[in-house]
Amino acid sequence: MPFVGAVAAPHSHLQLFTRPAENEDYKVKVARGRKALGVLRQQVEKSGADTMLVIHDDHFVNFDFRCYPPFCLLVAKEAKGSGVIDPVEIEKITGATYKKHPSKISYGSAPAGMPQHVSDWEGGDKPYVYPVDEELSVRMLKELLAMGFDMPFTTNGTMDGELVLTQNFLNPKADKSIMLLFTNGYVPPIPHPQRCYDLGRAIRRIIDGSERKVLVQATGGMSHFPGTPLYGEVDEEFDNHVLDLLSKGEAKALAAMSPEEILSRGDGELVNWIIAAGVIGDDIKATVVEYVRLWHIGLGYAYWEPR
């Protein structure tokens, strides 16, 4: 049984960084989200996974408008990135240990006022380093191509801060190898949900043919409209509809949605969850751990156990 389960959780950096203007209610909700991530971490541990296949939409770190693929698989020996706040603070909150570079004095600032996690400005001196399941990554790439999925690949394992954040909580000691499947969740036109679901089904066949115990992790969501005139709107009705479908084992219904629909609901990143749903398969009910609505985003947390 190489597929050992799945988890889905937001990657919002505001789970670790709270703006000074936020009120007590906001902080309580963030704490609920962190508690939910603790539940998901227990699921990861309970699964006995060797490898986590992380499905995440890149935030203009590995790709930009010169090339933005719908999907892209990392093939490398390791992946690395910076946290969204200072590693000392992250360790206090999540227990995530980090690599201390002798030549590096501070992790807390970046050029031009950029948040440290946004660009690849540090080069190699990144505090969070994860081993990549290279053998299974290569195998997955080859087999997806053979199955008719023209999967691009990258050998650059740079992780944006949001991706690192999820691993801070779910793989804090970096003792599980990872695989990275990057997606396009926010640069229209995004991949069609049906294609995402079918990709997930294909990935499952590859995982089932492997000796490795693989847990799937989908990041992102739920409804939010960053950088648009709708920032501050959250489509809670849509978020709850998605979670309801997942809890009933009806994830396939997500595949019938159009790319424009999920984007207009503020949840283009649902493509990550839909790929995961394809891996999990039909009729497997999710356990929804938590849903909180902050003023600018809906945060959903769920897990699946294999049948």
- Cβ closer to other proteins: 212 or 224? 224
- Cβ closer to other proteins: 130 or 186? 186
Please report how close the Cβ of residue 230 comes to other proteins at its closest, in angstroms.
5
- Under a CB-based contact definition with an 8 Å cutoff, are residues 76 and 182 in contact? no
Residue 186 contacts other proteins per CB under 8 A: yes
Nearest CA to 89 out of 80, 98, 79, 102 is that of 98
Contact pick of 159, 263, 279, 286 for other proteins (by CB under 8 A)? 263
Two tokens, residue 233: 């709107």
Please report how close the Cβ of residue 21 comes to other proteins at its closest, in angstroms.
6
Stretch that binds other proteins, among 37-45, 60-68, 101-109, 127-135 (CB under 8 A): 60-68
Please report how close the Cβ of residue 66 comes to other proteins at its closest, in angstroms.
7
Residue 65 contacts other proteins per CB under 8 A: yes
Residue 189 contacts other proteins per CB under 8 A: yes
Two tokens, residue 81: 């990135």
Residues in 211-250 that interact with other proteins by CB under 8 A: 225-233
- Cβ closer to other proteins: 225 or 304? 225
Please report how close the Cβ of residue 232 comes to other proteins at its closest, in angstroms.
4
Please report how close the Cβ of residue 162 comes to other proteins at its closest, in angstroms.
11
- The Cα–Cα gap between 304 and 284 comes to 7
Nearest CA to 123 out of 80, 89, 87 is that of 80
Helices 161-170/87-94 angle, 10° precision? 40
- Cβ closer to other proteins: 125 or 261? 261
Edge-to-edge order in the sheet of strand 214-219: 153-154, 71-74, 177-183, 51-57, 214-219, 3-9, 298-304, 287-293
What values do phi and psi take at 55, rounded to 5? -110, 120
153-154 vs 3-9, strand pairing mode: unpaired
Please report how close the Cβ of residue 82 comes to other proteins at its closest, in angstroms.
14
- The answer to whether the peptide bond before residue 306 is cis (omega within 30 degrees of 0) is no
Residues in 94-123 that interact with other proteins by CB under 8 A: 111-115, 118-121
- The Cα–Cα gap between 236 and 37 comes to 20
What values do phi and psi take at 150, rounded to 5? -80, 75
Length of the chain: 307
- Cβ closer to other proteins: 124 or 148? 124
Per-residue contact flags (x/-) with other proteins for residues 121 to 140, judged by CB under 8 A? x-------------------
- Per CB under 8 A, residues contacting other proteins are 21, 59-60, 64-66, 111-115, 118-121, 186-189, 225-233, 260-261, 263-264, 295-296
